[in-house]
Copies of this chain bind each other. A is one copy, B any other.
């Protein structure tokens, strides 16, 4: 707490957040290892408040001298700023829940070699099992994070954990043309990346990608895969549960607490300690105790997520959802690991009764969705046509709608969930929707 004491000479209250990240990354381009890299980087963020004036300084070091200089610079930054009359104070001492999660220290010392071999084997497998297939892109690697959050109100929490990932993006050559690219991935908090699953899952879909089917239907039953669902939710539903938007009145959920908002089959919580989570935090980026937050329970909206600042303003208090943007140093409200509860049927069973429908693996254009209303307009690609319970070919179509109407009427949910790390962390099942309005893509 030496540095905190030093900082108290300049500030009424202050926070020092240190992040150290070790990363290994190996990349694939056109069936080759295009590069590998290692990184080892420290970043310290100083956030100090004097007379309700905020100063933030970021230094890419964990050296004590640099941090002291940073504290002084943060104080100068604060000086010329205006008072934030809404500022109430940094969080105070916490009681932390100790989740029962084993940390895998192998990840800390993972070598590029391990991932080079894994990817080379995966490339060999893909090409041996389908000679028309090429691994257009891919990557694998590890990330190990050590963070320590301290503040002048008695918070001083240290935590460390790591994760590994791999993904491949495969296309097939069919004469002069190339199939749509098929992607699959694995993300884990140990070193047991499931290369065979990734390869098999891709090749199974690639078989059908050689056979492109035009989509000319206007209404269809649709199974969305976890990644597709996550892409949609991260630009529509997730922003809407932020307490900041509640205060600013820019969420359609403003007056919906306690009400039926989604289909009663849907239960969603933010659970950093879920067995599949790769973000098993004890404390958030402000040092506030992490916890499991129910967001929707059988379709009923349970309440917003808060960081310390907006939680103080609203009176709800922080829900442990303060997340730091390391390029601005600022705290925002974020989900640590969004879990959508699985259902009873297998994902195959969701498709079994489909006479004529679609499977969606991914969306394009989800980023232009409107979080204020939940409206979206996306292209389903890659997507597959299903006839009599079986995939018969790949297709592309438009899907426009509103996330609350969509999730207000879910036909079924798979029991399998996938760990997703695109945009944010999540553990997401497949979902079946009936009679969705769809439109052909005009090109």
Interface residues of A (CB under 8 A from B): 26-27, 31-41, 54-61, 66, 70, 73-74, 76-77, 80-82, 112-113, 116, 120, 328-330
Contacts and interface: CB of A to CB of B under 8 A. Distances in A.
A328 to B, nearest CB: 6
A73 B80 CA distance: 50
Contacts of A54: 32
Nearest to A53: B32
A31 B82 contact: yes
A113 B33 contact: no
Nearest to A66: B38
A430 B328 CA distance: 34
Contact of A60 (B41, B55, B57, B59): B41
A57 to B, nearest CB: 5
Contact of A120 (B55, B60, B80): B80
A77 B33 contact: yes
B32 A81 contact: yes
A414 to B, nearest CB: 36
Contacts of A330: 34-35
A24 to B, nearest CB: 10
Contacts of A328: 27, 34-35
A325 B32 CA distance: 18
A56 B35 CA distance: 5
Given A37-B57, A40-B60, 5 more contacts: A31-B82, A33-B81, A37-B58, A41-B41, A77-B116
A216 to B, nearest CB: 27
A60 B39 contact: yes
Nearest to A124: B80
A32 B329 CA distance: 14
Given A40-B61, A80-B120, A73 B33 contact: no
A18 to B, nearest CB: 14
22 contacts: A27-B328, A32-B81, A32-B82, A33-B55, A33-B81, A34-B328, A34-B329, A34-B330, A35-B328, A36-B58, A36-B73, A37-B57, A38-B58, A38-B60, A38-B66, A40-B60, A41-B41, A41-B60, A57-B112, A73-B112, A77-B112, A77-B116
Contacts of A77: 26, 33, 35-36, 112, 116
